[in-house]
Structure 1
């Protein structure tokens, strides 16, 4: 899972669910589309064709006549009006991510036939600027990835992690406002349907990535008759009890799936960042260095925390395994730490950005499902994980701030099933650290006859038009442009 990474009473009936049954549309498509006034977008480097609008949605869909919040939307209209089919919503990852700039960005990587066919729609999910925002007002130290991803102490103790979880959860309760209680995957899925109605579309197509695959799957479960062509790319495990805990836990498997690829790259002759003569030597080299940094951290000015310790190295490893293009950054860091040369400049987010991403991520993960409160559950899980998966040192089974979250979920997680039209295509890389294949197969199993799956013999997160294969990209593009989908699951080399 990527780092913890998104409508008014007029269309509330189009988005609401009453005892699991969809209520009918309350207005015509033409009436709904009048809710949006498209104009110029703020920001630099955007495609001049991109337009922006603001949509009001209920803060709490159980109270559609209550307080509202703003959702920021963007679009680039279909490039061939005579071929236009509808709207393609770009559902971002995270939780905590935004797709507001994506019509100008990754949307332009879509082939011409797809851009001819759809208006490309981006949005900033609730809690993310410039939509109505929320923040936990966290201390600077708690914005470090090693705080939100709780790495145990070198001896395996989680006492410090539990203290951090309580401190961060208390800050969210104190500073987050009412919106903090109404950020969840179900809220996001209902926002998606509010966007659909406001666009004047009876059905919506979507390309969801990473956490966006779970939003897309929940949307397709709650509103099956309002889905057109759905591509879910880099798929989460839709665990019916605690999906987010399953995502974090499976990171230990994702690292094991991907580290051998880094090791092969880092031992290749001629590589200027070569770490060892053979791939087999890279893993013990990394583990020895992490253990040494546990004992003897190196100052790292500008980083958060301002030292390279064992857990910061482990987190840097996890970051780099998302994309093979980032392997050199990890190797450079390892070489500098080994040889005592200056560390590379730290890559950090501005505190304002980190505040928003952390708050939205925490709210989603903690509001979606109840996490264990027992310290013993986490202690046992961490000890077991450390023994079996030393590269991740127990972090994936540790206590996030959800262990101290002040609120209970409003409802249980949505159970993903095969009920609904067969109009979903899953695209998945075989080696993906954030959304491993083993978890994606759970999504495939849950959706059943509604989907087919393209598995790429490829490495990295974000498969379609990024780290996948030409075969996989062509299959997804053809489905979006024409509706043609393989009759059965396929494997792309």
Structure 2
């Protein structure tokens, strides 16, 4: 019965005023980029697709360029036909904290059309702080009470207070492991400035952008800070703003409520196989009953919080439903859980967990009063019974060692109409409401493609031909829909 405890920490990692931010971009000519073979692990991950890699120097502190530089590593899937090439398409896979060097190859494997790869040099990257780009780490080992950035479910006020002491220690640990003072300079605004530096280094007047999940926030920031340099912008699985704040994290619970019924219906149709319930209502009741029982009586270290977090994580993708049902069945029957694949060393997530915290905490001034989190947890426990008392729980940002260096990047509605928002209607960490909010903020600059599907990520990551066709047409031909689009289930 070790399947759920082993997988939750891994999946949790995969999972995440009117003052305007100064752009500080550049029109200065940059030295030619020197392309060379990518690091061995990127080559292996990208195979059989071949990518080239290079580094781009950027200021550690964009407000004080003379204070020193860091290097951002980028990758390139070069367009095969220069006559068809439009420009560059910058990618971000999300996180914050996800390495994106092999992401061009991943999208090719997921079916990125040749019309897109003919039109662009597709550019992946490790954004600042990640992997090969001035890597930062808090020293997380995967042991102890902090094993990922998904907040645990809090059964009562005492659980929130206990968690506050854990995350206070995490924030201090990050401060203690920052000898080069890089932590304070990992923010969405600085990453957007890095994107513009990469554009300039590539010799391009403009850059297109495709970002998923947190990448939607980064892309929204880039399109807002550099509206005249952003070409065609596609934002998928949308956070709702240029940053993740308390409201955005609390929307995890809304996403769980909206997505769980898809799994419940799937499991109910297979009750003879898994025995989780004959109807969706029975499956939901079984989830709540088991989680409550594990809160009171953990089994082999499996708590209700771990169970809830596991279900949350497995709902990211419909292809994971059989694994989730099998793990849940093993809890019910005591049978050996299904093989969930090789479990990596949790210490390997130190870098991604650290960057998630740095960006999330540096972008927004999070409240420090534990009472505010206790109140939110109590409210969302009732409003969203499946996961509300987790999503509203306190995180290390409450005690972060640095105040935000600048306000969050405001969404710029006054600019070119060049932003396509693509969003599944049922998405656990980024529910449809986030896309609606960003659509409202961008106004006439944007169009929204709403997809009748469940899962985290629509374009190429889902199976909906309508969403794929509309998005590809925009990237290749610049055909922004005249109005918002509703894609039926495929």
Do both proteins adopt the same fold according to a TM-score greater than 0.5, normalized to the shorter chain?
yes
The change in CA–CA distance for 1:447 and 1:3 in structure 2 (over 3 A counts) is farther
The change in CA–CA distance for 1:202 and 1:38 in structure 2 (over 3 A counts) is farther
Counterpart secondary structure, 2:40: coil
- C-alpha displacement of 1:291: 1.2
Equivalent in the alignment of 1:184: 187
- C-alpha displacement of 1:485: 1.7
Contact map agreement 2:55 2:71 (CA 8 A) in 1: yes
Contact map agreement 1:153 1:160 (CA 8 A) in 2: no
TM-score by length of 1: 0.90
- Deviation digits for residues 446-490 of structure 1, max 9, x if unmatched? 111111111111111111012251011100001111111210101
- C-alpha displacement of 1:42: 2.1
- Deviation digits for residues 284-312 of structure 1, max 9, x if unmatched? 1011111111122222xxxxxxx221111
- Deviation digits for residues 231-263 of structure 1, max 9, x if unmatched? 111111117xx7422221101100010011110
Equivalent in the alignment of 1:38: 36
Contact map agreement 2:95 2:213 (CA 8 A) in 1: yes
Equivalent in the alignment of 2:470: 475
The change in CA–CA distance for 1:203 and 1:393 in structure 2 (over 3 A counts) is closer
Within 5 A, what are the aligned runs for 1:427-442?
427-442=422-437
Contact map agreement 2:234 2:420 (CA 8 A) in 1: yes
Provide structure 1 residue ranges, at least 5 long, that are not aligned to the other structure: 7-16, 300-306
Contact map agreement 2:140 2:350 (CA 8 A) in 1: yes
**Equivalent residue for 1:487, pick from 474, 482, 486:** 482
CA distance in 2, matches of 1:274, 1:79: 52
The change in CA–CA distance for 1:122 and 1:130 in structure 2 (over 3 A counts) is same
Counterpart secondary structure, 1:158: helix
Alignment of 1:339 with 2:333, yes or no, is yes
Equivalent in the alignment of 1:279: 280
Residue-pair matches, total: 470
Contact map agreement 2:152 2:306 (CA 8 A) in 1: no
CA distance in 2, matches of 1:4, 1:400: 17
Equivalent in the alignment of 2:439: 444
CA distance in 2, matches of 1:212, 1:91: 5
**Equivalent residue for 2:164, pick from 162, 186, 204:** 162
Equivalent in the alignment of 1:72: 73
Equivalent in the alignment of 2:306: 312
CA distance in 1, matches of 2:356, 2:389: 21
Contact map agreement 1:264 1:279 (CA 8 A) in 2: yes
- C-alpha displacement of 1:321: 1.0
Equivalent in the alignment of 1:350: 345
Contact map agreement 1:4 1:358 (CA 8 A) in 2: no
- Deviation digits for residues 67-96 of structure 1, max 9, x if unmatched? 211211100110221100111111120011
Equivalent in the alignment of 1:11: none
- C-alpha displacement of 1:200: 0.8
- C-alpha displacement of 1:203: 0.3
Contact map agreement 1:4 1:95 (CA 8 A) in 2: no
The change in CA–CA distance for 1:122 and 1:270 in structure 2 (over 3 A counts) is same
Equivalent in the alignment of 1:55: 56
CA distance in 2, matches of 1:435, 1:182: 25
Equivalent in the alignment of 1:126: 128
Moved more, 277-286 or 325-334: 325-334
Q: Which runs of 4+ in 1 moved over 6 A?
A: none
Counterpart secondary structure, 1:120: strand
- C-alpha displacement of 1:38: 3.3
Equivalent in the alignment of 1:175: 177
Alignment of 1:203 with 2:203, yes or no, is no
CA distance in 2, matches of 1:20, 1:393: 36
Counterpart secondary structure, 2:436: helix
CA distance in 1, matches of 2:435, 2:275: 32
- C-alpha displacement of 1:62: 1.1
Counterpart secondary structure, 2:461: helix
- C-alpha displacement of 1:138: 2.6
CA distance in 1, matches of 2:283, 2:191: 42
Equivalent in the alignment of 2:6: none
Larger RCO (alpha carbons 8 Å, 6+ apart):
2
- C-alpha displacement of 1:115: 0.8
Contact map agreement 1:93 1:209 (CA 8 A) in 2: yes
**Equivalent residue for 1:230, pick from 233, 237, 242:** 233
Contact map agreement 1:36 1:198 (CA 8 A) in 2: no
Within 5 A, what are the aligned runs for 1:412-423?
412-423=407-418
Counterpart secondary structure, 1:477: helix
- Deviation digits for residues 22-76 of structure 1, max 9, x if unmatched? 666122xxxx251434334422143453101112211111111222112111001
Counterpart secondary structure, 1:229: strand
Within 5 A, what are the aligned runs for 1:134-153?
134-142=136-144, 144-145=146-147, 148-153=150-155
- C-alpha displacement of 1:145: 4.5
- C-alpha displacement of 1:137: 1.0
Equivalent in the alignment of 1:10: none
CA distance in 1, matches of 2:337, 2:462: 28
Contact map agreement 2:116 2:476 (CA 8 A) in 1: yes
TM-score by length of 2: 0.91
**Equivalent residue for 1:328, pick from 313, 322, 330:** 322
CA distance in 2, matches of 1:343, 1:144: 24
CA distance in 1, matches of 2:388, 2:251: 13
CA distance in 1, matches of 2:321, 2:37: 41
- C-alpha displacement of 1:352: 3.5
